[in-house]
Amino acid sequence: MATGLSDATELLQRALHAGKIGCWAWDADTGLLTWDAPTTDMFGTWLSAPTVKSWIAAVHPEDRAAWEEAWGNALEPGTSGDFNHEFRFIRPEDGHLRWIVASGSAEFSGEKATRIVGVLFDVTERRTVSQAHEEAASRLDAIVSIAADAIISMDESQVITMFNGGAEVIFGYARDEVIGLPLTVLMPPQFRASHGKHVQNFAASAMPARRMGERGEILGKRKNGLSFPAEASISKALVGGRQIYTAVLRDITERTQSQALLEQRVADATRDLRLEMARREEAKAQLIRTQRMEAFGQLTGGIAHDFNNLLTVIIGNLELLDMRIQDEKLRSLLQRAQDAAGMGSRLTARLLTFARKRAIAAAPLNLNEIVIGMAELLERSLGEHVTLATSLEPAPWTVIADASEVENAILNLAINARDAMPSGGKLLIETANTSIDVDRMDAGVVVPAGRYVRLSVSDTGSGMSEEVMRQVFEPFFTTKDTGKGTGLGLSSVYGFVQQARGAVTLASEVGHGTTVTLYLPQALSGLAAAGDGHHGDQAFGSTGERILLVEDNEAVSEVVSSQLETLGYVVSSVASGPEALEVLARPGGFDLVLSDVVMAGGMSGFDVARWVQTHAPGMRVLLASGFPDAVLQSESPGEPRPEILRKPFSRAELARALRRTLHPGTAG
């Protein structure tokens, strides 16, 4: 028997050592803890006679209260006497943190615990791995939950097992409505039969995944029965001997609508180009180029700048020739060249507008024409469940605004209205002439006195609470679900109208719809006609002011100098910012500095303007640039800046800009 007991003891010790299990005991009379070698490996050799107090001192501070409570419960008479607790332990001798699971059982003599005997497990590695898995799972859940795209998992029978928030937004189903249903519920009927064949081919292929767009555009079906264009990626994996599939689907409805709008604009531009181009093939090539407008979205500021410089030289020289040529036949040829140059300028502006890199280009507009021109696009965008109606002013006043910004504002407001009417409703777009004699409050917004064309977009949707209305124009504020709204739609509308010196008002009531009204100022007759005729700039001629021209492009410098001289200004020119500062530092002075923004030599027009503001605050500065706004903002982030004259510019535009800068408050 002794030999058997000895063998059993040795086997037990080996098992404990192999399992990294330590044994310990606490004696109530001495207050000391005793433990074996594996426990020493866990806790270290920092104490020769450890006590419960010294043990607690090395327990992680966040775990001490729970440890003491578990220990106290084990010593409580009338209980099971079990001590089971998982805690973090910081070894005092080296600072290493370990996760420990302690289990023990108290022995009692009457109402008093005499000792506790137990074992210890070091579960640090297990906890580390588990924590890593939990963090990875949490990160994956977070990504899946906030993803704007639909993420859907299916089993080998194509039954839906996961449906994220993005999928709920895109398809209109709650996840509980589709979990357990076949994936074909999300497809138009005409594609369901072929879906099974596609899955079989993919399952049999060696490819683990198929990227988005490889199969081209597909169609999905929303809960309301409407189909929409989409791109999808799919992957497969073998889990537990069973094949699972995960699909990521992106709704490209807005992109498709934008492409349709773009194609319409391209068609309009092509009709204009055909009038001036001798060969039909040229027009066709231009159409192809403009249809690839996404590629032009990558158009760099440098290319736009160089092209605008060329157009500045062309337009300026043509205008100078126009002043000298009297022969009507030659003037006819010259007019054709001027028309072509102007068309090139408008084409560049369109390209930069589509790429969202163009500064606002105000021009006389008839709002009725814009609303009518967008009606067909809006009807397609709104869907069959929303009825579009218009009520237009019979003879609207002309306004000065950017046509693209007005179109974008209407489109933003219409899309917001559509989203506020998920079950359908009515969208009304109105225009009306409005005269305001004194400043007045409209829906909590001050509308300054003046004559406006009022553009209103009204819906019969869910409406807004007062709290939402207070924040609705703030950037990045949105009431839409995650991934469905950026919070920039209404704020961009607000910014555009403010830049147009108008006002935006909002009226809404929960359950009774919303009306957003844009007040755009009526154009002064002089402004509307300022560009008419060949010599409309003469009213803005000079009285002999001195101008320092700073331009690093020699051709541009020559033509702008000639334009300034014909306007009556006294011109000196330099080719860089440092040269400008050297000249400005000399006695004599100038009335105005006209500087390009981006120049060689390491000094920009903004640098020149800052120097003038500091050293010659009475001198005026006018900047000129062919770069888009994104580049110019990076040149002077967050600081006031002089007026920027956009290249290419005509002599009339130059004259008016100079007059505004030299004489603030002058019409023009």
pLDDT in tens, 196-214: 777 777 877 777 666 655 5
pTM: 0.35
Contact 20, 121 (CB under 8 A): yes
Asked if 654 contacts 563 with a C-beta cutoff of 8 angstroms, the reply is yes
Question: Given a cut of 80, is residue 596 above it in pLDDT?
Answer: yes
Which of 171-180, 190-199, 504-513 bottoms out in mean pLDDT, i.e. has the lowest? Answer: 190-199
Q: Which range is least confidently modeled, 3-12, 95-104, 348-357?
A: 348-357
Say how many residues make up the chain: 668
Measured CA to CA, the distance from residue 262 to residue 253 in angstroms comes to: 14
Task: Assess whether pLDDT exceeds 90 at residue 177.
Answer: yes
Between 33 and 634, the more confident residue is 33
- Residue 206: the pLDDT is 72
pLDDT of residue 380: 75
In whole angstroms, give the CA distance from residue 195 to residue 218.
Answer: 11
d(CA 76, CA 111): 8
The confidence score (pLDDT) of residue 291 equals 43
Q: What is the pLDDT of residues 285-301, one digit of tens each?
A: 334 433 443 444 444 44
Domains of the chain with bracketed CATH: 17-128 (3.30.450.20), 147-251 (3.30.450.20), 363-526 (3.30.565.10), 535-662 (3.40.50.2300)
- In this structure, the strands spanning 386-391 and 440-442 are unpaired
Residue 551 has pLDDT above 90, yes or no: yes
Query: How much is the average pLDDT of 388-411?
Result: 88
pLDDT at residue 533 in the model: 39
Give the Å distances, CA to CA, from 144 to 149, 167, 253, 476. 9, 10, 21, 21
Percent share of the chain, pLDDT over 90: 16
Q: Is the confidence at residue 37, as pLDDT, over 90?
A: no
pLDDT for the residue numbered 303:
57
pLDDT level of residue 368 (50, 70, 90 thresholds): very high
Averaged pLDDT of the chain: 78
* pLDDT of residue 504 exceeding 90: no
Ranking 20-34, 267-281, 288-302 by mean pLDDT, the lowest is 288-302
Determine the pLDDT at residue 286.
Answer: 37
SS3 call for 71: helix
CA distance 398 to 423: 37
Q: Is the pLDDT of residue 612 over 50?
A: yes
User: What pLDDT, on a 0 to 100 scale, did the predictor assign at position 17?
Assistant: 59
Token pair, residue 417, equals 């209205």
Q: CA 170, CA 150: separation in Å to the nearest integer?
A: 7
Please report the pLDDT score of residue 547 as a whole number: 94
Contact 125, 97 (CB under 8 A): no
Please report which confidence band the pLDDT of residue 174 belongs to, taking 50, 70 and 90 as the band edges.
very high
Lowest mean pLDDT among 303-317, 455-469, 519-533: 519-533
How far apart, in whole angstroms, are the C-alpha atoms of residue 440 and residue 12? 92
- Pick from 29-43, 111-125, 336-350: least confident: 336-350
Residue 371 near residue 431, CB atoms below 8 Å = yes
| 22-36, 203-217, 318-332, 362-376, range with the lowest pLDDT | 203-217
Q: Read off the pLDDT of each residue in 155-180 and give the average, rounded to a whole number.
A: 90
Average of per-residue pLDDT across 518-526: 78
The 10 Å Cβ neighbour count of residue 333 is 11
Query: What mean pLDDT comes out for the span 1-30?
Result: 67
538 vs 432: which has the higher pLDDT: 432
Name the DSSP letter for residue 37.
H
Note the Cα 160 to chain centre separation in Å: 31
In whole angstroms, what is the distance from residue 402 CA to residue 500 CA?
8
CA 641, distance to chain mean position in Å, is 25
Identify the H or E element spanning 34.
strand 33-35
Q: Kindly report the number of other CB atoms within 10 A of residue 634's CB atom.
A: 10
pLDDT at 296: 42
Residue 254 is predicted with a pLDDT of 86
Task: Return the higher-pLDDT residue of 355 and 139.
Answer: 139
Residue 265 — pLDDT band, cuts 50, 70, 90? confident
Q: What is the pLDDT of residue 351?
A: 47
pLDDT of residue 520: 92
Cβ(351)–Cβ(389) under 8 Å?
Answer: no
Predicted pLDDT at 487 = 47
What does the pLDDT read at residue 599? 84
Q: What pLDDT is attached to residue 399?
A: 92
The pLDDT-based confidence of 620 (bands split at 50, 70, 90) is: very high
Q: Which carries the bigger pLDDT value, residue 649 or residue 439?
A: 649
pLDDT surpasses 90 at 480: no
Of residues 331 and 372, which shows the higher confidence score?
372
CB 297 within 8 Å of CB 354: yes
